[in-house]
Amino acid sequence: MSPLTILRIEKLKTFGNVAGSDDHVTRNRETPNADPTRENVRLIGGEDSRALEEIVKEKISTLKYRPRHDAVLCTEMFLSASPEYFRPVDPSLSGQWSDSLMQQWAIASRDWLAQNYGSKCVRAELHLDESTPHIHAYIVPVNDKTGRVSHDAMFGGRGGQGRIKLSKLQDSYAAALAPLGIERGVKGSKATHTKVKEYYQAVNSEPLTAVITNNQLAPTPFESATNYVARIQNDHQFHVLNHQLADRAFMQERLERAEQRARASEKERQRLEEIVRELELKTQQLRDLPLEDVAWELGLHHEEGKWKGHGHIINIDGPKFYDFAPEQQKGSGGAIDLVMHVNQCNLRQAVVWLHERFGESGAIGAAIAKAKFDGNSCGCETA
């Protein structure tokens, strides 16, 4: 049976998702099925020791437009090949492989990533501490035409066009590995689903049950153990069973990671809700923060009397601002409104953002400054 390519993708929609995936891949989080005596290899991005979250943030900060609130910030791509390639003599020997074959596959995969995604692929990690070598690659899906991140434009969304793009992606990776004797899987098969939930359902569906209950894999009367092992190892259904069991274990790990991320997201949501409750009485203080300081934290730069960046040209006049950019043309007042305008977020998100940047002392300082300003403007003297 010829070895097959394996390619799956996962959307990372928040920086928390990015950080969680990074913790797993870099082994900052305990991984029970990983061998601590083996070292993994960074194929792309080895010169940058920063956390993946910081790298993705920096990449996005250079874009013309900020991501929408529901945008995919980074795409994680999983690359591998079926065990027959790495251990052709005995694919069932989990954790073992030919180093020369592994290196040829890793180089071909790295070159394919570099050729197709260039600097958009910010990191690729080769894992050698699990049962079969595989690569986790991280791609910031920048759409060069629009100046935004767009997973759908690069990898396809829902519907027919999305399936076509994903199919072409599988074709492209298979073509890069063809010189190594690795083939593409059957087009349209359940095993090519990229969504974790759908794929988990696929590997637990009827084909797996059919193989397990198939009498063809049972020993015949008076058949020796040696003959039985030799017979089933050459049986196609035996290899199907091996692959599906391996895939089910893989997907179980991915589901556990998804559950961990969900729990972490819930804790983060609760933390933010608590912050919002604490700040409800201090909202006005945050609104009175100096707009120049807020503009600087928003990543705008002062040029020719205006604050520019991210598609904005903002004039600040005391507590008020006006955006002269052709696509904006909007004015308002207060730090919270400025953050909502530039970050394209809601009130609560703006309040949390200001609190995280300026803290309670910054809000109190803003209140004192405003009190002095109001006192002076009405002709009162302050001590």
Give the pLDDT confidence score for residue 165 in this predicted structure.
Answer: 87
Give the pLDDT confidence score for residue 131 in this predicted structure.
Answer: 85
Clarify whether residues 238 and 340 are in a common domain: no
Clarify whether residues 12 and 67 are in a common domain: yes
Clarify whether residues 115 and 98 are in a common domain: yes
Clarify whether residues 258 and 299 are in a common domain: no
Clarify whether residues 219 and 301 are in a common domain: no
Residue 382 lies in a domain: no
Let me know: does 174 contact 184? Beta carbons within 8 Å. Answer: yes
Q: Quick one: CA dihedral 188, 191, 192, 196, positive or negative?
A: positive
- Could you give phi then psi for residue 39, rounded to 5 degrees? -100, 140
Clarify whether residues 208 and 185 are in a common domain: no
Distance (Å, whole) CA 362 – CA 354 = 9
Tens digits of residue pLDDT in 31-52: 767 888 889 999 999 888 899 9
Clarify whether residues 162 and 18 are in a common domain: yes
Give the pLDDT confidence score for residue 118 in this predicted structure.
Answer: 94
Residue 140 has pLDDT above 90, yes or no: yes
- CATH number of the domain encompassing residue 87: 3.30.930.30
Contacts of 328 (CB under 8 A, 6+ apart): 311, 312, 313, 341
Residue 315 has pLDDT above 90, yes or no: yes
Clarify whether residues 82 and 159 are in a common domain: yes
Domain endpoint, select from 255, 278, 301 = 278
Give the pLDDT confidence score for residue 173 in this predicted structure.
Answer: 95
Q: Residue 179 is part of which domain span?
A: 5-192
Beta strand pairing call for 142-143 and 121-127: unpaired
Residue 359 has pLDDT above 80, yes or no: no
How many beta carbons lie within 10 A of that of residue 167, not counting itself? 15
Q: What is the pTM of this model?
A: 0.53
Let me know: does 254 contact 194? Beta carbons within 8 Å. Answer: no
Clarify whether residues 84 and 164 are in a common domain: yes
**How many domains is the chain partitioned into structurally?**
3
CA 308 to chain centre: 29
3-state secondary structure 12-56: ECCHHHHHHHHHHHCCCCCCCCCCCCCCCEEEECCCCCCCHHHHH
Clarify whether residues 160 and 274 are in a common domain: no
DSSP conformation class of 289: S
Clarify whether residues 236 and 353 are in a common domain: no
Tens digits of residue pLDDT in 231-244: 665 665 565 566 55
Clarify whether residues 137 and 16 are in a common domain: yes
